[in-house]
Amino acid sequence: MAEDDTLPPFLEGRTVLLIEDDGRIAEEIVGELTGRGFNVHHEETGNAGLEAALKGEADVMVVDRLLPGCDGLSVIEAMRQQGIRVPVLVLSALSAVDDRVTGLKAGGDDYLTKPFAMEELVARIEALLRRPDDTRNTKLRAGPLEMDLIERRVWRDGREVDLLPREFRLLEYLMRRPGQVLTRSMLLEDVWQYRFIPRTNLVDVHIGKLRRKVDAPGEEPLIQSIRGTGFQLRVSD
């Protein structure tokens, strides 16, 4: 973990419930998350994990799909039936599209296949914690940007920004997560709806086009490239 990989202040101290039976993976995840400022509660079995989840003390959960006793998807389904709405990231070695869909339909909010990079895991956890409570708002604002989701129009400090449909969706995704580092994998999955990660520069090309429209000459650049990771919409509060 790099020295500056600390959490934004409002994420520090959030509690992660990790349900993972692989001791080595669990140790790596716990070490990474605690080093970044999270509180981590770890359980090794589905039954113990479900009991911990039902206490309602976690802010986000990371659940392995294949667990001894009660499997991960059963844990998620059971807690959803009990009204526990905490966001859940499902971990699994099963990468087929059908497996991912099954995990999401069971009540998972995101799905990450093994093996994975810790940076990707942390980015997805932060995305779940930053997720708006109400995604039905028809207007979004982030710094100097304003977006009308009904009329499909965007302005920066009153200047209208003419966007193509894919550019609009990409900017919407960024505006819902200001300040968050978004990996290329996240963008491909959530904006392009890819359920596999192709070797492509598709994201970089579209980000480049979007940046040239949003960040006009003389304006402060809002869309930042994070070396080796992805992109960030950097706006002041």
User: φ, ψ for residue 140 (rounded to 5)?
Assistant: -115, 145
Q: Which of 213, 185, 216, 214 shows the shortest CA–CA distance to 200?
A: 185
**For the structural domain made of 15-133, what CATH number should be given?**
3.40.50.2300
**Intrachain domains 15-133 and 139-233 with the same fold:** no
Are the C-beta atoms of residues 192 and 130 closer than 8 Å to each other?
A: no
How much of the chain, in percent, has pLDDT values that exceed 70? 89
What pLDDT sits at residue 101?
Answer: 80
pLDDT digits (tens, 9 = 90+) for 186-211: 898 888 877 666 678 899 999 999 99
Polymer length in residues for the chain: 237
b or e along 141-155 (b: 16 or more beta carbons within 10 Å of the residue's beta carbon)? ebbbbbbeeeeeebe
Contacts of 52 (CB under 8 A, 6+ apart): 17, 19, 41, 43, 58
CA dist., res. 207 & res. 214, Å (int)? 10
The highest-confidence range among 108-112, 142-146, 188-192, by mean pLDDT, is: 142-146
CA dist., res. 164 & res. 167, Å (int)? 5
Predicted confidence (pLDDT) at residue 132 exceeds the cutoff of 70: no
What pLDDT sits at residue 102?
Answer: 82
* For residues 136-164, average pLDDT: 87
3-class state of residue 22 by DSSP:
coil
Domain boundaries, given as residue ranges, for the chain: 15-133, 139-233
**For the structural domain made of 139-233, what CATH number should be given?**
1.10.10.10
Pairing of strands 88-92, 39-43: unpaired
pLDDT digits (tens, 9 = 90+) for 23-66: 999 999 999 999 988 999 999 999 999 999 988 889 899 999 98
Count Cβ atoms below 10 Å from residue 127 Cβ, excluding itself.
Answer: 22
